[in-house]
Structure 1
Amino acid sequence: MLLKLFVLGVFALLSLSVKSAQIERLSLYTYHNKPPYIESLADKKGLYFDIVNLLNEFQPNLQYKLVFMSKEQIRQRLERDTLAGVVLGVNPQWFGDIEQQRFIWSDPLFYDTDEFVSSIKKPFEYLSQASLHGKKYGGVEGYFYPKLAEAERREKLTRVDAGSEKELLELILQQQLDFAVVSRPTFFYFAKKNGWWTSLSLSHQAHQKYYRAILIPKSNKAQFTPLLNTTNSLGFKKYMKELVSSYHISE
């Protein structure tokens, strides 16, 4: 009897090993280490982790994992065509691919907004390019802000870099900036968590509205075709809409 149980146990382990070996594990990279997209890397908590889990539900023979990497590292690997995976939560404009010729792109996962945030004591309203003249604003180091680029080039607007959008909000609270550009979901996350509602102001006109999608290097097309088929399907989009709504992000 003991021998029989031992043999059955060995077969069960072998079966699990074979099944595990058949599951392909693929990386989805992100450089957005900020809530609610990533609330905790250590605890694997946040919207992007939930998106990866949803993808795994749709594809039992594939297992995706979220990997954080700096934007500069991702750019370098894309230029060298050495990125062993895809990039989650990005837009063609940010990678100089408006015509979508350099890379393969999924359908939009969800829509997002970057806001002009200022102190309630000195609220900033964007009305036109003239609104920017003589102002000092904050941005995340390495990020590009298209509506502000021309004023910067003409030295009508001064930029201060910070390491994160949370740092930008703190600089606004200290009144060290006229305004900062912060993604709307991140603004709401910290405003709610830290009780900053009565201290911060949003311009009626946003900096930019855009969608977030998945960038796939052309050399990885075959490996990630199942991913594209999933993200572009009506079933996945239905669940994505519900997921994004649970984070208070709406179109």
Structure 2
Amino acid sequence: MVQLIIVGILILLPWCAWSEQVERIKLYTYHDKPPYIVSLKERSGLYFDIVRLLNEFHDDVQYQLVFRPKIRIRSELEQEQLNGAVLGVNPVWFGDNDQIKHLWSDPLFYDTDEFVSSVKRPFEYKNPTSLHGKRYGGVQGYFYPKLHDAEKLEKLQRVDANSEKALLELVLKQQIDFAVVSRPTYFYYARKHGWWTSLSLSHQAHQKYYRAILAPKKHKDKLGILLNTTNSIGFKKHMKQLVRSYHISE
């Protein structure tokens, strides 16, 4: 019995030594919605797969995906207290169009926010006047650039929900004229709940954009390695295959 314990300890020693040498870095996200995050508990979804892919490129660094509310991420960024990077974001959303406030990776993949309405009352966006007199749904705390001016002029009324699934349910109940929902999220729920015949997409989308990784300049030395990896040809090749497996167009 004693010999078995000694053997077990000897087996564990190299693992303990390796784990002490590995640096753990957090990648934050505030997008708790499928297919980006299918389950936080089961650690499933595109963002978890991206983190696993990153870890395959490193022996001495292990990245960990952590959900954190958007308002807290913004606050910690402004106070230079964010200890990690932010996954799946765009420079425009953080007022960094010229990419001078923070460090940014190359685009990980491209995405679209859609106007989603009920087939019983389909909404088509043609120009800003299309919004007048409408009631739309958005996720609380999210900013929708194409709708901002109409809201400011009180030509458009906003209804907040805590998730895009809740927005789609409001559309199905015809409690709002349309909602703005990420295209991959729309397809995920349409497949899961069989909503294909009940929902309609406007021919013109709300906006098209890319998702990338934001890294605070304060941690340039530590997070520069991360950005070098995401910008490499090898990583981008695997990233394309991964995104394609989630039925997201490149």
Q: TM bucket by the smaller chain?
A: over 0.9
Output the CA distance in 2 between the equivalents of 1:151 and 1:3.
Answer: 76
3-state DSSP class of the match of 1:210? Answer: strand
Output the CA distance in 2 between the equivalents of 1:4 and 1:123.
Answer: 73
Q: Find the counterpart in structure 1 of residue 235 from structure 2.
A: 236
Aligned pairs for 1:15-54 within 5 A: 15-54=14-53
Contiguous gaps of at least 5 residues in structure 2: none
Output the CA distance in 2 between the equivalents of 1:215 and 1:88.
Answer: 7
Output the CA distance in 1 between the equivalents of 2:162 and 2:7.
Answer: 55
Structure 1 letter corresponding to 2:130: S
The range that moved more, 3-12 or 75-84, is: 3-12
* 1:101-131 CA distance string (max 9 Å, x none): 1000000000000000000000000000010
Output the CA distance in 1 between the equivalents of 2:29 and 2:12.
Answer: 35
Structure 2 letter corresponding to 1:241: K
TM normalised by structure 1 equals: 0.97
Structure 1 letter corresponding to 2:140: E
Instruction: Tell me by how many angstroms 1:9 deviates.
Output: 4.5
3-state DSSP class of the match of 1:160? Answer: strand
Q: Find the counterpart in structure 2 of residue 78 from structure 1.
A: 77
Output the CA distance in 1 between the equivalents of 2:76 and 2:34.
Answer: 25
The range that moved more, 221-230 or 187-196, is: 221-230
Alignment RMSD (CA, Å) = 1.3
Q: Find the counterpart in structure 1 of residue 57 from structure 2.
A: 58
TM normalised by structure 2 equals: 0.97
Q: Find the counterpart in structure 2 of residue 168 from structure 1.
A: 167
Pick closer, same or farther for the CA change 1:5–1:41 going to 2, 3 Å: closer
Instruction: Tell me by how many angstroms 1:8 deviates.
Output: 5.3
Matched, 1:93 2:92: yes
Alignment identity in percent?
67
Output the CA distance in 2 between the equivalents of 1:17 and 1:199.
Answer: 54
Contiguous gaps of at least 5 residues in structure 1: none
Q: How many residues matched?
A: 250
Output the CA distance in 2 between the equivalents of 1:174 and 1:7.
Answer: 65
Output the CA distance in 2 between the equivalents of 1:7 and 1:159.
Answer: 66
